[in-house]
Amino acid sequence: MKTIALFILSWAAVSGDSRFSCQVVCAAEITVEKSEQGAAVKIDGKPFTEYVVKSGTKPILWPVIGPTGKAMTRGWPMNDDAPASEKRDHPHHRSFWFTHGEVNGVDFWSEGSKAGRIVHREFAKIEGTPVPTIVAVNDWQDRDGKKICEERQTILFGSDDGRRWIDFTTAMKATEGPLTFGDTKEGAFGVRVAGTMKVDAKQGGKIVNSEGQSDGGAWGKPAAWVDYHGPVEGETLGIAILDHPSNFRHPTTWHVRTYGLFAANPFGLHDFAGGDKNVDGKHTIEKGETLTLRYRVLLHKGDEKEGRVAEAFEAFGK
């Protein structure tokens, strides 16, 4: 299960949607194989990431290894021996995930006693050629095990000189009845950056978005992309999340915090507007309908300029 050199992916072949096409350059050998925890992704024989089917109450990707071989997302709580720079807060912030704090009234964001859970049902695809791909089917259930909806995650992997990326698509299908995504800041597609990268570590970490807003000023603001960069073991590395132009409410709003949380959230408009009673970001799809959201996570060297984040967004949009 491997891919090498240049490939061109027709998005229709993956998602069945003829609107999309993307070109991906893979300068290294990437393999995807089943593992004890789910599915392991390697680049030139070394770990890139792993799809863990159950961590806490959901599937996640962890670890996430950047272009220089260093882990770029927080190791705790998956690793009890994570360094002291990994603050022991928000145990539901598990590396790389998709959840939301209110779906038909059920909290899938937290891990409390009343929280729902996202249960991995099966892998629909694990392959390395022609495109390194994981397709996973998950059931979203309330705390009593009642199914709320079905999710299909499609995850693609690529790299070029000095950068790696993960293309993540979630298709949320209202299989049981109408499906409402509530207005809450606690969502939705997110990562938790390495402890030394966060702004609050005061080691040079910085948040920058496509509109030029930075650090705390980027919270709750709409933007096509957000970049979070800072030091990791002596060098500056960055993680950017790109919101595809076809996404619901693009450019999305961002639940991005100086303590290291970094999430795209198109539903939290009321919270992001400071609790304005005239703003309601909830969204409902009817039974049988599907809401699809697509993001690219770009792992790069340096800041957003060295990582060519704006250029990457233009390419992703095409």
Q: Rounded to whole angstroms, how far apart are CA atoms 120 and 140?
A: 9
Number of domains in the chain: 1
pLDDT value of position 2: 42
Q: Rounded to whole angstroms, how far apart are CA atoms 155 and 137?
A: 12
Residue 296, domain extent: 2-317
Q: Rounded to whole angstroms, how far apart are CA atoms 11 and 148?
A: 28
- Tell me the CATH number at 258: 2.70.98
pLDDT value of position 27: 59
Q: Rounded to whole angstroms, how far apart are CA atoms 205 and 190?
A: 18
Q: What is this structure's pTM?
A: 0.91
The answer to whether the Cα torsion of 89, 154, 57, 175 is positive or negative is positive
**Segments of the chain scoring below 70 in pLDDT:** 1-27
